[in-house]
Structure 1
Amino acid sequence: MKNINDSFLKGRAKSLKYTFKGAFLLLTTEHSIMTQSFIGVVFVVLGFYFKITNVEWMFQILGFGLILTAESLNTAVEKLCDFVHPEYHKKIGFVKDIASGAMTFAVISVLILLTLIYYPYL
């Protein structure tokens, strides 16, 4: 609950604290986020190696941002579903499958993007 005595700046600082805590938790506990972050680092190295353009860098950064965002939201949905209904339930499984499907769209989009960026260099 919001404390009425918190100033705007103090509230934003608290929000940033929670934001970085969440990112840290994702990077240190979720294997899918670790894997996707590693792949992102590999493509950063490739970007420097092939000297991709500024526009290609922008698209690559946006693409990996999309993947990490989608995976983070997918993880949040799965954790919430598991908390609400720890045992298997058909409807909970359906919700989790849809969240995972959203991740699939992000991955396919970024694979196409990376192909468009790196094909000319290969």
Structure 2
Amino acid sequence: MRRDSNNILKSFRNAFEGIESALRLERNLKIHFFIGIAVAVFSLFLPLSEKDLLWVYFAIFSVIGAELLNTVIEKFLDLFFEDYSESVKLVKDIAAGFVLWYSLFSVVVGILILGRALFSWSPSFAKFFVSGVLIFFPLFSVFVRRYRNVGKNDKSSGGR
């Protein structure tokens, strides 16, 4: 039995070392981790139900888990592809999109739950606000990308 508990402890130690290494290497993971801890601690002082607290923690763990998975994917690809590759870029972009997707989910949870607790927002206002965020940011992103591409096309064609 002692041997099994040593293996379990070693597994946990290895897992924590992996998280620690990822935190040292990845700026975005540090940011999400810090924000997650701050929100988790702050949430303890709000009048939240257990269900609401569970959603907040689920959102935090989801974003950090997505960041860890993104780090694994990036590091794994870097092991095998030293030179630039469009395919590798696509996979890395999709992995980053995965993190973004969960980050948006966390924003939605934060607005719906923390907005109600902090600002006494009605559920209908929170839904309206969330809808605005979910519509505005993707549209804004598309607009910015198109604007940047137009600028690049103008420069490459000699400004014509």
Q: Please, what TM-score do these two structures have when normalized by structure 2?
A: 0.66
Task: Show the 5 A alignment for 1:87-102.
Answer: 87-102=83-98
The residue aligned with 1:25 is 21
Instruction: State the distance in 1 between where 2:57 and 2:9 align.
Output: 26
Instruction: State the distance in 2 between where 1:75 and 1:36 align.
Output: 13
2:35 counterpart of 1:39: yes
The residue aligned with 1:59 is 55
Post-superposition shift, 1:59?
Answer: 1.0
**1:3-45: per-residue Cα shift (whole Å, max 9, x none)?**
xxxx433322221121111111122332111101111122134
Aligned length: 117
Q: Highest relative contact order (Cα 8 Å, sep 6+), 1 or 2? A: 1
Work out the percentage of aligned pairs sharing the same amino acid: 23
**2:9 counterpart letter in structure 1:** A
Residue segments in structure 1 that go unaligned for 5+ positions in a row: 1-6
Residue segments in structure 2 that go unaligned for 5+ positions in a row: 120-160
**1:13 counterpart letter in structure 2:** L
Q: Please, what TM-score do these two structures have when normalized by structure 1?
A: 0.85
Runs of 4+ in 1 over 6 A off after TM superposition: none
The residue aligned with 1:116 is 112
**1:49-88: per-residue Cα shift (whole Å, max 9, x none)?**
4332222111111111000000000011011111211221
